[in-house]
Amino acid sequence: FRVLLADNAAPPDPDDLVLLAEPDGEMVAGLWQGILEQRGIHCMIKNVNSIAHLRGGVPLFEMYVLYKDLEEARSLLSLDEGMEDGS
């Protein structure tokens, strides 16, 4: 897992944001967000290529959840089965 703003190898705190996945597009990100929020898991979707629309590029997304919700979120989205890239 990747943790935002972490400089050490200590395990994250339960309320730290961690990378859940890189959804394949805005539609998939929105679908996953809906699935998680129905179960009470809040998430943050970040467009890591925010100027893509200016150059005709493809936006790239990252989805973050709280560390305490990571295992349940991965299970709900079937990410434990090797589907981390959203395809």
Neighbouring C-beta atoms of residue 29, cutoff 10 Å: 22
The tokens for 45 are 């979707």
Query: The pTM is what?
Result: 0.74
What does the chain come to in residues?
Answer: 87
Residues of the chain scoring pLDDT < 70? 1-8, 50, 52-59, 81-87
Residue 83 is predicted with a pLDDT of 45
d(CA 80, CA 82): 6
Residue 37 is predicted with a pLDDT of 97
Residue 26 is predicted with a pLDDT of 87
Residue 7 is predicted with a pLDDT of 60
Contact 70, 1 (CB under 8 A): yes
